[in-house]
Structure 1
Amino acid sequence: MNTDLEEQEDELLALQSIFDSEEFVRDESKSAGEIRVSVELPADFNVVLKEGDSLRQYEISFLPPLLLTFDLPQDYPSSSPPSFTLTCSWLTHPQLHALGVQLTDLYQATRGAVVLFSWVQFLREDALKFLDIHSVLELPSDEHNTELCDQDKDSATLSEPNNIEHTPTSEPTDDQHCDVSDPCEPHLPGSSSQVQENPSTSDGISTDSQGACALDSHQQTQTRDSSPNKHQTSDLSITPSQALMSQILLYNAAQKQKLFTTTLFDCGVCFMSWLGSECVQLFQCGHIFCKPCLGKFCKVQIKEGNVRGVTCPEADCGGSPTPAQVRSLVGEELFSRYDRLLLQSTLDHMADVTYCPRNSCGSAVIVDTSSTAAMCSVCNFAFCVKCKKTYHGAQDCHTMKTEKEDIIPQRGYASLPQSKEGLKAVWDDYSSASKERKRILERRYGRDVMQGTLTMWLSDDWITDNCKHCPHCFCKIQKISGCNVMTCTRCHQLFCWACLTRLEKYGSDHFQSSDCVHYPLDFAYRA
């Protein structure tokens, strides 16, 4: 007997040295404890849930651990195997039953030797192969769960009390009940009402914090109500199978993040090695950078107003950090600027958005592309989308400009010519005239008109004659030289200068499929 106790103590001490506190918990009051066993998954492992005609499939790297709760009898390992409970949220009762039988067989094959570590190794490395699960784990549907629960409930009323004494030939009974969505924190055997050493109890279950089904090969205890309709009225309005899938995905994400934070990565900017806890991984492209480098990069772009430049620093990469990542990197003050400028930039790139031309307003206005009229919803100013002046109906913007130039002369002065050519002739005469000639023109038309109003009118006319509107943001653009592929300096839209057609890329086939030419004749001569 003393030899058995010594071997038990040595085995428990060995387990404490091998596993960390999250994996192994010992009950110091007796030879008992629990071990969480993380099953090793092959590459490209998928979890599948079928719900009627729909199929949900997710690739995962981690499954919630199996919980092996054990109690060592006094004559273990020489005569009796450990009394144990095997708990898992994503395995069915038949699968847990098969694993329980296999654990008992492993002890029988090594009778007289400690077996807990061998059990853990089997569950970790060979459990999936033993259950014929290779690359896909199909979760039981809710219909299957309901049928199983009904069958277990019926069998529980006819079952005999289970013997709590373990014998080498004993096998787990089939009086288990499955409830995959009723969470309950696991406890050590004998330390809670979840496992009662009462020979008269039957049809027992044990559930872990992930809503697990439990198989007790030696003790069966009914611990909570498990009506199949219990979860149909939950506040979350999700089925037990959906809840189980959600738990698996959340656990997988948490374990991947835990692995990331403890792994060393080389920053793509400074090329130094950093722990994942000091790094940021961009979700779109997967590139990893240290927080100081990526933070400085984002801060420079935001301070310069180039919010479109807050992207992955990797060359030719289209990824970008999420708003939450930007906030954590640059702080609240710069993030507010980033958020505001990003909204502004987004509006600038929308073809159906312009801005109220009033300096005191400047609000974004959604326009109807089939009309040139727009009205600001903030100040109710109606304006023309093309010329940004007060709306002038169906009249052409240029005609409206000349008609508004029904120049009312100042009192005692002559009227300026109404035509554009006449106005230009007067200005040419004035700008090249002698001082005496200028005084004569100023006495005729008025000094304010010659020095201010006339130049303003001519400037507006020059802009109208020499500039075109960007087909995307309607910004006025002047073409000085070069080919007919233009880039708007405001919204960066590529377009053809000749016909104002939007171009997707510089090497567009627009010039092969239309009458427009890539290089104008005057440009070819200069070249």
Structure 2
Amino acid sequence: MCQVEGGGGRTFELRVPIELEAPLSLPSGERLDALPPLTLRVRHGSGYPSSSPPGFGLRCCWLSDGQLEALAASLDGLAAAAAGELCVSAWAEWLRTEAAGQLELLQEGATLSLPAEGGTGQAGADEATASAGERRAQRWPRSRAEVLARLRQHAAAADAAAWASAVHDCGVCFDEYASLDCTRLHACGHTFCKSCLRGYWSSQLREGHATALLCPHPGCGAVASPPEAKALLSAGEYETYERLLLAASLAEMTDTSWCPRCEYPAQLEPRVEGRAGRVAICGTREREQSVESAEWIRSNAKACPKCGVATEKNGGCNHISCRTCNFEWCWLCGCKYEPGHYKNGPCEQFSQDFFDEIDMTPEDFRANYVVMNHQ
């Protein structure tokens, strides 16, 4: 309630909630389970209540000027019937319980009227002649877009409040949980306990399916949003999720490739006549890199066995960790790396390029160094 003192009287506002027995429809067919409250602005004069009723005004976004004026006339009748007595509380109670019924908004299939596109809020031609004296009852805001925005915002807030105060059955383990222990997916509205949903998404990430963190409900297929994933995944899992999501997005872009030098995304420029490849501008290194033709990539790079991202090896040992999906594999045989792969298998841990890089022979290296990991 807002209140202002002064001027020989008192002015205040009451926001009166409206009780609905059934959802209402918008002209588009959209259903609303809750409506914003009516605003009743009251001014007590010096003669209230003994000699005169208070002045008042009505504001609402979902009723037309004509509907609001009909309610105002009913309030006038209530004030006249209670002459010399307090009437504001009776007004508020009548608006809360009877207003929707008087306007036939409780009938099955009732539809709210909205301002015309580009209009000022008048619902019909008969209201275009409304006199200045009837401005005590007025739709506000006046534009159709603002009215729709307020209706949807209020309905969403009411739905969220109802969900937060309820107890829910998890769609995976079927146990009952308070809302604090649950997550409701925005895309589909299905609810699961946080433990089940976190475990399900973690398993999807381990399989490399970052673009498919899906709703576990059978047949749903709704995709989780990044904020929903971040709220449940660990910091390391979310970093993997972002990396896989970026790789999947870049794979769909025909004008983007991975820079073969720094392995960051680079934008491809149009082909230039006489040049074998296309030039990629690497945003990380802020310099131009030449992205060679597909033949060069096939002969100098290998695809990660898990995610398929092209990988170039320019030194070091043959144990590869994919920067896109973290999959560990052997450069020589392409198999998944397991401890003991080089010690017990046929593959060598170091190829000739490594010894060329450090300017040593394999014999000198083995004589002077003991490798403590990657075996």
**TM-score, normalised with respect to structure 2:** 0.57
CA 1:126/1:301 → structure 2, altered by over 3 Å: closer, same or farther? Answer: same
Tell me, yes or no, if the aligned pair for 2:69 and 2:137 is still in contact at 8 Å: no
Q: CA deviation at 1:242?
A: 1.7
Question: Helix, strand or coil for the counterpart of 1:39?
Answer: coil
CA separation of 1:316/1:89 partners in 2, compared to 1, >3 Å: closer, same or farther?
A: closer
Q: What's 1:343 paired with? A: 246
Which residue of 272, 289, 294 corresponds with 1:383?
294
Give 3-state SS (helix, strand or coil) of 2:59's partner.
strand
Equivalent-residue separation in structure 2 for 1:357 and 1:34 (angstroms): 63
How far did 1:113 drift?
Answer: 6.1
1:139 aligns with 2:139: no
Q: Say which of 86, 93, 101 aligns to 1:129.
A: 101
Shift in CA distance, 298/376, structure 1 to aligned 2, threshold 3 Å: farther
Is the 1:363–1:376 contact (alpha carbons within 8 Å) kept by the matching residues of 2? Answer: no
1:317 to 202, 207, 220: 220
For 2:34, the aligned partner's letter is F
CA distance in 1, matches of 2:259, 2:74: 80
Check whether the contact 2:172–2:216 (CA below 8 A) recurs between aligned residues: yes
Contact 2:214–2:221 (CA under 8 A) maintained in structure 1:
yes
Write the distance in 2 (CA, Å) between the matches of 1:70 and 1:354: 63
Partner of 1:21: none
Distance change >3 Å, CA 267–CA 79, structure 1 → 2? farther
Counterpart contact for 1:376–1:382, Cα < 8 Å:
no
Q: Gaps (5+ residues) in structure 1?
A: 1-23, 49-55, 157-172, 181-210, 213-239, 367-372, 391-527
Provide closer, same or farther for how the CA distance between residues 28 and 300 of structure 1 changes in structure 2, counting only shifts above 3 A: farther
Alpha-carbon offset, residue 277 of structure 1: 4.7
Mapped to 2, the partners of 1:287 and 1:131 lie a distance apart of 35
Whether the 8 Å CA contact 1:149–1:177 is kept in 2: the answer is no
Contact 1:311 1:320 in 2 (8 A): yes
Query: For 1:160-175, what aligned pairs fall within 5 Å after superposition?
Result: 173-174=133-134
**Which residue does 1:279 correspond to in 2?**
182
SS in 2 for 1:137: coil
Distance 2:216 2:279 in 1: 39
Residue 298 of structure 2 aligns with an amino acid whose one-letter code is: K
Aligned CA distance change for structure 1 residues 329 and 376 (closer, same or farther; 3 Å): farther
Match for residue 35 of structure 1 among 11, 14, 27 = 14
- The structure where strand makes up a greater share of residues is 2
Q: Residues 496-515 of structure 1: matches in 2 within 5 Å?
A: none
- 1:262–1:277 CA contact under 8 A, matched in 2: no
- The match for 1:458 is none
- Scaled by the length of structure 1, what TM-score is found? 0.43
TM-aligned CA distance change 1:256 to 1:28, over 3 Å: farther
In structure 1, the residue matched to 2:165 is 262
In the other structure, the counterpart of 1:519 is none
SS in 2 for 1:138: coil
Which of 36, 45, 48 is matched with 1:64 structurally?
Answer: 36
Which letter does structure 2 place at the counterpart of 1:322? Answer: S
Count of residues in Structure 1 that have an aligned counterpart in Structure 2? 277
SS in 1 for 2:216: coil
Alpha-carbon distance change, 279 to 25 in structure 1, aligned in 2, over 3 angstroms: farther
CA distance in 1, matches of 2:216, 2:153: 30
Q: Against the structure 1 CA distance between its residues 177 and 99, is the aligned structure 2 distance closer, same or farther, given a 3 Å change threshold?
A: closer
Q: Cα gap change, 1:59/1:262 in structure 2, threshold over 3 Å: closer, same or farther?
A: same
- How big is the shift at 1:81? 3.8
The one-character-per-residue Cα deviations of 1:401-434 (angstroms, maximum 9, x if unpaired) are xxxxxxxxxxxxxxxxxxxxxxxxxxxxxxxxxx
Q: Show structure 2 runs of 5+ residues with no match.
A: 269-275, 281-288, 301-375
Check whether the contact 2:250–2:257 (CA below 8 A) recurs between aligned residues. Answer: no
Task: Say if 1:374 and 1:261 are closer, same or farther in 2 by CA, change over 3 A.
Answer: farther
